[in-house]
Structure 1
Amino acid sequence: MPWNVWNVEMARWENLTSYATRAQAIGFRDEVVIPEGREGGPFEVRRTGAVLEEHGTKLMQLKPSMVWRCAMDDLDRRSHNAAVQAGGEGEFKQYAFHRRHVIKASTANDVLRAAIAEPGLGRASGKRDTRLLYSDVELLKAALQ
Structure 2
Amino acid sequence: MSSRDTQRAKVYAAEQFVRTMFDRAAQHSSRAIDFFGTSLTLPPEAKFGSVEAVQRYVDEVLARVGGAAVAVRARRGVTAAHYQSTDGRAVIAVPERTSWALRELVVLHELAHHLSPEGPAHGPGFVATYCELCETIMGPEVGLVLRMVYAKEGVV
Normalized against structure 1, the TM-score is what? Answer: 0.31
User: Could you say which structure has the higher helix fraction?
Assistant: 1
Higher RCO (Cα < 8 Å, 6 or more apart): 2
